[in-house]
Amino acid sequence: MAKNLESMSDSELLIEIAKGQRKEARSGRISAIAIVVLVIILAVTLASFVGTAVSTLNKVYSTLNEAEKVVISAQDSLEEVNTLVKNFNEVVVDNTDSVSEALGRVKDIDVDSLNKSIEELASILGPLARLFGGN
């Protein structure tokens, strides 16, 4: 069907030009529709990714807030443990001082004098006990 362009009349050339322009217009419409469809698909895809990204970021933010609370709680617990250890240390030191003082007093007791005093007290109480009817 292709005719030699040189052998065509002006009206035939105009008809061929019009046919070509219709084909180009149809191709342009198809291309435009394809581009619009691709843009819509891209927009929907991006919208779903943005929604997912926002949801993920909210979860990350929530998790970080919870982690911060746990860290603060752990720091408070460590401070309490430090206070308990300090108090326990003070109690041990105080008790050690008290035990040392008591042992010093026990060490200072003259056992021989104490035994002698007990014997003298027994010798005094023996006659008193017989006086009041005891053995």
Whole-number Å distance between alpha carbons of 43 and 49: 10
In a domain, 103, yes or no: yes
Model confidence over 8-20: pLDDT tens digits? 888 888 998 999 9
In a domain, 109, yes or no: yes
Whole-number Å distance between alpha carbons of 102 and 100: 5
Q: What's the structural domain count of the chain? A: 1
Write the DSSP symbol of residue 6. G
- Give the residue numbers spanning the domain of 38: 11-131
Helix (H), strand (E), coil (C) string for 31-46: HHHHHHHHHHHHHHHH
| pTM beyond cutoff 0.75 | no
Asked if 114 and 120 count as a contact pair (C-beta separation under 8 A), the reply is no
Model confidence over 12-55: pLDDT tens digits? 889 989 999 999 999 999 999 999 999 999 999 998 888 888 88
In a domain, 93, yes or no: yes
